[in-house]
Amino acid sequence: MRALATPLILLAVVHAFMTTELPERSGRKLAFLLLTNTLMAIIIGLLVANIMRPGAWERIAAPQNTEVVKKTIDPWGLLQDSVPDAVLKPLIDNNVIQLIVVALAFGIILRRLKSKQVAEGNTDYLAVQQGVTTLFEAVIGILKWVITLVPLAVFGIVAQTVALKGFAPFKTLGVFIVAVLVALILQACFYLTRVSFGSWIKPQRFLRGASDPLFAAFSTASSTAVMPITFRALVDRVGLRESSASLGALVGSNFNNDGTALYEAMAALFIAQVLNLQLSLPQQLIVVITSVFASVGAAGIPEAGLVTMTLVFNSVGLPTEYIAILITVDWFLDRCRTAINVLGDMSVSALLDGNPLLLL
């Protein structure tokens, strides 16, 4: 999974910059809504993890050959290290900050070149765009193969854990599940509050309209698979304009993975607590930044967050071997966070539709 994480996020960011078509004004508003939603999700996740401390209830034995790295964060050194010595170095070293810098640089430059060529009537950019799309789809295809093996991995991990430790370690995972569910519920409350103040839609109507997409999201664990259901629910049941529904549910879903970002941030703190490590404020800030980009790389397919989580762990020196422990509960939490991802898409559409009272 670690080998897929860096190319997945790099290609996801570049692909999003090249293929997303947005009106300038709506695009700025959409970007603001998506970023604030994601940041709030991560903040909620970190707060709940720090308050409930699910990893402190009982120690979980590490997988074999696991080395714990106590990594300190130097803000100035981090800034200096953000620019790689070579373009491909972040892919080799799994350096998250450098990877983000390279992805943003390529994404912005390619977007500008595309805009310039479109204005000139030139179509040379299509070859590059198609190449990026093909590589992105290839990585997702490999990722799907890996994910098909997850049930076998879960069986092996559970069998080994029960044989060696009994059922005691699952108590800690149970507390972690409760903590994640509490955080997801708080994020849903944030959506409803924001919709009630920033849109003409009442929360009750919004929730009634969201029932079918949320059920489908929980069933499929894929926000991409339920995009048509989400779009029709926003237009037919909630009553939004098609332009607002398409921006939030179709375009926004490529970037808006709040539930995934929340989960990955909480997972990092959970494992740090299991290892009796204290993540400092700068380290938790790094978790925030990497979780934002890791959530973009979680490509809307079931359990893709397990792959991008490796970068979040690497960014603060946590051993990625501990992700294997989380696989045992991820199948359930993945469905819950996918439902929150879809609810976030719908809330963005509602906010894009606006509140007529705010225009008076």
Domain boundaries, the chain: 24-73+150-359
* Dist. CA 349–CA 360, nearest whole Å: 21
For residue 161, count other CB atoms closer than 10 A to its CB: 19
Residues in contact with 269: Cβ distance below 8 Å, sequence separation at least 6, in sequence order: 45, 46, 49, 50, 55, 279, 284, 287
**In the predicted model, what is the mean pLDDT of residues 43-72?**
72
pLDDT at 195 (0 to 100): 93
Kindly state the greatest CA–CA separation across the chain.
67
Q: Report whether pLDDT(116) > 60.
A: yes
Residues in contact with 157: Cβ distance below 8 Å, sequence separation at least 6, in sequence order: 324, 325, 327, 328
* Dist. CA 307–CA 221, nearest whole Å: 15
The tokens describing 348, both together, are 């963005």
Q: Is 146 left (phi over 0), alpha (psi -120 to 50) or beta?
A: alpha
Report the range of poorest mean pLDDT among 64-68, 141-145, 212-216.
Answer: 64-68
Tell me yes or no: is domain 24-73+150-359 CATH 2.60.40.10. no
pTM above 0.85, yes or no: no
The per-residue pLDDT for range 173-209, each reduced to its tens digit, is 889 999 999 999 999 999 999 999 988 889 999 999 9
* Dist. CA 65–CA 12, nearest whole Å: 32
Q: What are phi and psi of 171, to 5 degrees?
A: -65, -45
Per DSSP, helices labelled H in the chain are 2-19, 24-52, 75-80, 89-93, 96-120, 125-148, 150-165, 169-198, 203-220, 227-232, 242-246, 258-274, 281-297, 305-315, 323-353
Q: pLDDT over 90 for what percent of the chain?
A: 24
Tell me the pLDDT band of 80, cut-offs 50, 70 and 90.
Answer: low
Residues in contact with 212: Cβ distance below 8 Å, sequence separation at least 6, in sequence order: 229, 233, 237
Q: Which of 3, 34, 2, 5 has the alpha carbon at shortest distance from 299?
A: 5
The tokens describing 326, both together, are 């989380």
Q: Report whether pLDDT(77) > 60.
A: no
pLDDT at 51 (0 to 100): 94
Q: Report whether pLDDT(357) > 50.
A: no
